[in-house]
């Protein structure tokens, strides 16, 4: 029988393990989805693959599911970070949602010289990543890091991680990544005002950086994130043949 409802849980999953639901999860399953004892939910935690969970207790404030069988293996995304400058609330939510759906392993909000937003609600964005993984069929939830300054991130940049630097000044056909090597990568998207001259010079001088154009038009930051993820996945990610 097909299991349509999926739920992320932060508990170990194995045959016979029982999983306790939070009040919010119980409300969703039993109040919203109208499920009851005997029903089945697909459970995942980002570590132990995906399991069929049978509902053995159901209540308004909680419930218990028991793992009966493994349904799918853990599907890890490529080792890809999405680094972006936060924008308006709903559009930042959109970026986190789409980055999760499109296979980013880590989502890194950054504060650039021209970033308008000086703070984020990390827990809320992490919850959006969880919801996106539940909806898209993923078995892994990317970490949403706390906001950090771009300059500080670059000060400690790991040498083995290459950067797809989406420079809005470089208009025209997108630079091909066909000759780039696989391995750890990061996509870097600027704010609505673009990167500052100081940031652009620093990034252009980094040996890890590959300057890539996203076409002949200047894109909104949330559109640029989706476009960049598509370009990278098609060339170097798990979409590539």
Residue pLDDT, tens place only, 64-79: 999 999 999 999 999 9
pLDDT in tens, 184-223: 999 999 988 889 999 999 999 999 999 988 888 888 999 9
User: Percent of the chain, pLDDT > 90?
Assistant: 79
Asked if pLDDT for residue 121 goes beyond 50, the answer is yes
Give which of 50, 66, 55 is closest to 28, Cα–Cα. Answer: 55
The predicted model gives 149-172 an average pLDDT of: 89
Q: What are phi and psi of 140, to 5 degrees?
A: -130, 140
pLDDT in tens, 40-60: 999 999 999 999 999 999 998
Joined together, the tokens standing for residue 32 give 């919203």
Q: What is the pLDDT of residue 113?
A: 94
Considering the segment(s) 80-236 as one domain, its CATH architecture is 3-Layer(aba) Sandwich (3.40)
Instruction: Place 179 in a pLDDT band, splitting at 50, 70 and 90.
Output: confident
* Average per-residue pLDDT for the chain: 92
Asked if pLDDT for residue 183 goes beyond 70, the answer is yes
Instruction: Place 241 in a pLDDT band, splitting at 50, 70 and 90.
Output: low
Joined together, the tokens standing for residue 235 give 């060339």
Question: pTM, whole model, 2 decimals?
Answer: 0.90
The predicted model gives 153-161 an average pLDDT of: 96
Cβ proximity of 143 and 10 under 8 Å: no
The predicted model gives 12-39 an average pLDDT of: 95
Furthest-apart CA pair in the chain: how many Å?
Answer: 61
Q: Enumerate the domain spans of the chain.
A: 6-72, 80-236
Q: CA 171 to CA 215: how far, in whole Å? A: 6
Instruction: Place 176 in a pLDDT band, splitting at 50, 70 and 90.
Output: low
Instruction: Place 173 in a pLDDT band, splitting at 50, 70 and 90.
Output: very low
The predicted model gives 71-99 an average pLDDT of: 94
CATH code reported for the domain at 6-72: 2.40.240.20
With vertex at residue 129, the alpha carbon angle to CA 102 and CA 48, rounded to the nearest 5 degrees, is 85
The predicted model gives 79-99 an average pLDDT of: 94
> Do the domains spanning 6-72 and 80-236 agree at the CATH topology level?
no
């Amino acid at each position: 029988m097909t299991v349509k409802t999926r739920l992320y849980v932060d508990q170990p999953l194995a045959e016979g393990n029982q999983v306790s639901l939070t009040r919010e999860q119980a409300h969703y399953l039993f109040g919203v989805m109208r499920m009851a004892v005997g029903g089945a939910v697909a459970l995942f935690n980002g570590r132990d693959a995906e399991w069929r969970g049978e509902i053995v207790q159901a209540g308004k404030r909680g419930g218990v599911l028991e793992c009966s069988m493994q349904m799918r293996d853990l599907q890890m995304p490529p080792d890809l970070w999405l680094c972006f400058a936060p924008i308006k609330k709903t559009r930042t939510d959109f970026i986190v949602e789409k980055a999760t759906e499109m296979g980013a392993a880590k989502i890194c909000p950054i504060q650039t010289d021209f970033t308008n937003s000086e703070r984020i609600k990390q827990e809320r964005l992490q919850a959006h990543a969880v919801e996106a993984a539940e909806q898209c069929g993923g078995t892994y939830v990317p970490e949403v890091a706390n906001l950090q300054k771009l300059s500080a991130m670059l000060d400690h940049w790991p040498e083995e991680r290459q950067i797809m630097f989406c420079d809005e000044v470089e208009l025209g056909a997108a630079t091909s990544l066909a000759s780039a090597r696989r391995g750890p990568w990061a996509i870097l998207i600027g704010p609505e005002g673009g990167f500052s001259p100081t940031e652009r010079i620093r990034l252009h001088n980094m040996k890890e950086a590959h300057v890539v154009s996203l076409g002949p038009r200047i894109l909104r930051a949330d559109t640029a994130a989706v476009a960049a993820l598509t370009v990278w996945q098609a060339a170097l990610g798990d979409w590539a043949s």
